[in-house]
Structure 1
Amino acid sequence: MAANTTSSRRQFTDAARQAAVEARRLKRDLKIDPNRPEIFVVRGVQDARLFTWEIRRYGGVLLQNSDARFTTVLAAESAGQRALSVFVGEP
């Protein structure tokens, strides 16, 4: 099977390439704990106008999600942060 030799039609400027390199470096330097859960706000399945929160571990492992639906991203994120505090046992 031959390798794909077609090039992308996307043209990146040198500034964009440098910004991408710097972003990858910063992420690497953060040394994020892969076991630390994080909050993600996602659109509702039945109604895409509503939002819900999910607690996930690195790699997309879903640990907990909300039953409630929220009308704004901010409301879902705020409720998710409270749930995350309870989930990890913070006061």
Structure 2
Amino acid sequence: MEILYLSEKKRIALTLDKTLEEIKTRHNYELVDLDSKILRVAQSFHFPELHDRLILATAKYLGIPVVSSDRKFSAVEGITVIWD
């Protein structure tokens, strides 16, 4: 979702199609469908950008860290952010 958004805004050179094709060839990525469980978790986050809420909700639901430079993510309880 984030890649699609940034690509359409011309903020990155990647396209969604190219990214999905690349992910299919890698074994260290997993695509996760947004389902009603993740959407319910998203209700608990108060971020103006929907894609940020979905990223946070997915990470919280799966119990995995978020890789992001967005400093607001670090302030969210229950979310671990990885970034240098």
Q: TM-score, normalised by structure 2?
A: 0.30
* Larger gyration radius, structure 1 or structure 2: 1
Greater relative contact order (CA < 8 Å, ≥ 6 in sequence): 1
TM-score, length basis structure 1: 0.28
Identify the structure with the greater helix proportion.
2
